[in-house]
Amino acid sequence: MAALTIKNEPAEELDIDSKIIELCSQNPKGISDDFIKQAISQSDIQQRVSAVNRLLSVNKIEILQSGAKLLYRLKDPDALSQVKGADTEEKIVFQIIRDAQNKGIWTRDIRIKSNLKNIQVLNKILKNLESKKIIKAVRSVNASKKKVYMLYNLQPDQSVTGGPWYSASEFESEFVEILNAQAHKFLQQRAVDANKVYADDPWTRLQASYASAEDVLKYITNLGISKVNLSVKDMESILDTLIFDGKAELSARTTGSSGLSTGESSLKIYRAVKPLTETSGFVRTPCGVCP
């Protein structure tokens, strides 16, 4: 009987190890002890602790601090191979930058989280990781003189680059004005065409004068005036400027054949309007204070 118990025990432990790895892969942000307990309720606390310790010892998982809780997350084998042979401080810095994902992290925040008080040591580590093309420095539109660090293969988040409206941290006002003018022109032409086709049907004429952001985006794309790929969300931002200028109005059109309670959604639609009053040149003149 004793021999049977010894043979079954490693198999049970191995099943718990595999289950924890599976749970971590399904939850990339990490899992807590309570989550493991709930998912593997048939195991006792000693078995779970032993399994976690084994996985930590062979670098299969890592521990993260989330508030007052500890989380376990699956380690990225590719990321581990990148910093193989690095010293402890370099691995810590790499881990902090990796956790920041595509939003990046300031040098100051890296210094605080890593507890590296010597800025020269930190700069040396960052330069070393950059030279190996493990990380990269990206200038943020929020502070053009500062850089944020992220993994080399990541595409920076729009909150960092400013999206298509920025180039080298500089706002492309001329590009935005061109898109603004062309979007307005499209909506105006849509209204003109609706007046011609549905002259005797006011309601249909009104509905036909509306266009979605996707319609405007197709028009802009076909013109070929944008060197960057714009999304529907980007075009909605441009159309919002027309609304703020009093050149367009926003409405919504329901989509789907069923009721709202069973999945019907709404689509934003826009149409050109004439402002009630023309603004004076004085109002349109920039104040000269804002950048």
Q: In this predicted structure, what is the pLDDT of residue 213?
A: 92
Q: What is the H or E stretch that residue 129 is in?
A: helix 119-131
Q: In this predicted structure, what is the pLDDT of residue 188?
A: 93
State percent of the chain over pLDDT 70.
76
Q: Which two tokens stand for residue 284?
A: 């349109």
- Residue 162: Cβ-neighbour burial (10 angstroms; 0-12, 13-18, 19+): middle
pLDDT at 117 over 60: yes
Q: What is the H or E stretch that residue 46 is in?
A: helix 45-57
Given pLDDT bands bounded at 50, 70 and 90, which one contains residue 253? confident
List pLDDT tens digits, range 181-233: 999 999 999 999 999 888 888 899 899 999 999 999 999 989 888 877 888 88
pLDDT at 10 over 50: no
* Lowest-confidence segment of 80-84, 116-120, 138-142, 260-264 by average pLDDT: 260-264
* Lowest-confidence segment of 2-16, 51-65, 104-118 by average pLDDT: 2-16
Q: In this predicted structure, what is the pLDDT of residue 145?
A: 67
φ and ψ of 222, to 5 deg: -65, -30
List pLDDT tens digits, range 145-187: 678 898 887 777 777 777 777 766 667 788 889 999 999 999 9
Q: In this predicted structure, what is the pLDDT of residue 4?
A: 35
The phi-psi region of residue 130 (left if phi > 0; otherwise alpha if psi is between -120 and 50; otherwise beta) is alpha
3-state secondary structure 132-172: CCCEEEEEECCEEEEEEEEECCCCCCHHHHCHHHEECCEEC
d(CA 272, CA 191): 7
Q: How distant, in Å, are the alpha carbons of 24, 30, 50, 218, 286 from that of 33? A: 12, 10, 13, 50, 58
d(CA 118, CA 34): 38
CA 213 remoteness from chain centre: 21
Mean pLDDT of the chain, nearest integer: 79
d(CA 291, CA 287): 10
| Widest pairwise Cα distance in the chain | 96
Q: In this predicted structure, what is the pLDDT of residue 182?
A: 92
d(CA 17, CA 48): 8
Q: In this predicted structure, what is the pLDDT of residue 5?
A: 34
Q: What's at 158, amino acid-wise?
A: Q
pLDDT at 41 over 80: yes
SS3 168: coil
